[in-house]
Amino acid sequence: MMKKWIFILSSLLAAQFILTATVNLTDEDYEAFQAEEKVLSFDEKEVDSLRIEDGTDSVLLKKQEGKWLLPESDDFPANQSSIERLLGNLATLKKGWPVTKTRSAVRRFKVDEKQFERKLVLLSGDEAQATLYVGTSPGFRKVYIRPADGDEVLAVEFNTWDAGAKADHWIDKDVLTLDESDVERVEMPSVTLQWEDGKPQVVELGEKEQTNEKESRSLLSKLTKLRIQSLLGTGAKPEYQKDESVLEVKITRKGGEILNYRFSKSEGASYYILKRSDLDHYFKVAEYSVNPIKKTTREKLVQARSEEASSELTGDKDDEKKINTRP
């Protein structure tokens, strides 16, 4: 019986020793593998095109005269910072612990030539600088990847969402943004605002009325900060209700440029369709952005004149009357 217990204890001690040695060895190996070798070898400055595919959709981003555009969407401006951030992340990806090299695992983790979550091709002119397959995720903000020129499947920190394969993911959604200080006049269906010395003034106020400056500035902010949700193309399709607008706004900028905003809405749609006179595209704009503008009335931008302002106005009129009645 004693021999049996000695054998069991000796076995447990040996197992513990082996486990400790294995763990230490694994840690050392892992630390040794934290090399500075990059996953992809390319020069960010040389990349002037980027193709992203997800097996269903694909998008091409192209740099022209220092600006990133969407050539397949009539050269619509792309979000510069998002593209530069993606390229920066790809350029700094370091090789993590290799997961596998087997073909079955390549397919299982979806980093195969025909089966992938994303395929990214970085080009300089017509020449591919690097190609990367992005696959499934083993955990939060981690994905399996495989460079096209290698067999190793790697697990790295990367957010697949940052590499969208649709044009709408990359469009510059702030393309409608205007500088508030550049606006001189806003004409709505029921009211017109004119900016004088940096302050908004409702046109044709009554004697007992004055401009509600807070609400007027709020309206201007909503108009100048409109963001688009997606592109709808350049052609006027019947469903855009082009001739049945629900709201029209005219903005005059300093220098005389006039921007006409025409909002329409398809039956049952949860968004508005916007066409602005200086741009070729039709845009999808969120309801929550347009509804507050649409609901703006003259009553909201006008308030009763304060007693102090009324007194000043009366005083000015009395002074004017005295001047006119002098012999």
* Domain ranges within the chain, ordered by starting residue: 44-170, 180-306
- Give the confidence band of 238 by pLDDT, cuts at 50, 70, 90: confident
- Give the confidence band of 140 by pLDDT, cuts at 50, 70, 90: confident
- Give the confidence band of 103 by pLDDT, cuts at 50, 70, 90: confident
81 with 94: CB under 8 angstroms?
A: no
Instruction: Tell which residue, 306, 135, 130, has the closest CA to residue 209.
Output: 306
Mean pLDDT of 32-56: 86
- Give the confidence band of 3 by pLDDT, cuts at 50, 70, 90: low
**pLDDT above 80 for 144:** yes
174 Cα distance to chain centroid: 8
- Give the confidence band of 98 by pLDDT, cuts at 50, 70, 90: confident
Mean pLDDT of 230-247: 83
Mean pLDDT of 128-137: 96
**pLDDT above 50 for 38:** yes
H/E element, 289: helix 287-294
Instruction: Tell which residue, 196, 182, 245, 191, has the closest CA to residue 215.
Output: 191
Which strands sit side by side in the sheet containing 258-264, from one edge to the other?
Answer: 199-202, 192-196, 183-187, 247-253, 258-264, 271-276, 282-286, 230-231
- Give the confidence band of 229 by pLDDT, cuts at 50, 70, 90: very high
Name residue 58's beta-bridge partners: 53
Q: What proportion of the chain, given as a percentage, has pLDDT over 70?
A: 82
**pLDDT above 90 for 29:** no
pLDDT tens readout for residues 293-306 = 999 999 999 999 87
Q: What is the pLDDT of residue 25?
A: 35
pLDDT tens readout for residues 151-192 = 899 999 999 999 999 999 999 999 999 999 999 999 999 999
Q: What is the pLDDT of residue 34?
A: 53
Rounded to whole angstroms, the Cα distance separating 209 from 299 reads 10
Q: Percentage helix, strand, coil, to 5, in the chain?
A: 35, 30, 35
How many other C-beta atoms lie within 10 A of the C-beta of residue 172?
A: 20
Q: What is the pLDDT of residue 99?
A: 86
- Give the confidence band of 129 by pLDDT, cuts at 50, 70, 90: very high
pLDDT tens readout for residues 269-315 = 899 999 999 999 999 999 999 999 999 999 999 999 876 555 554 55
- What is the pTM for the complete model shown? 0.77
Q: What is the pLDDT of residue 13?
A: 45
Rounded to whole angstroms, the Cα distance separating 60 from 70 reads 6
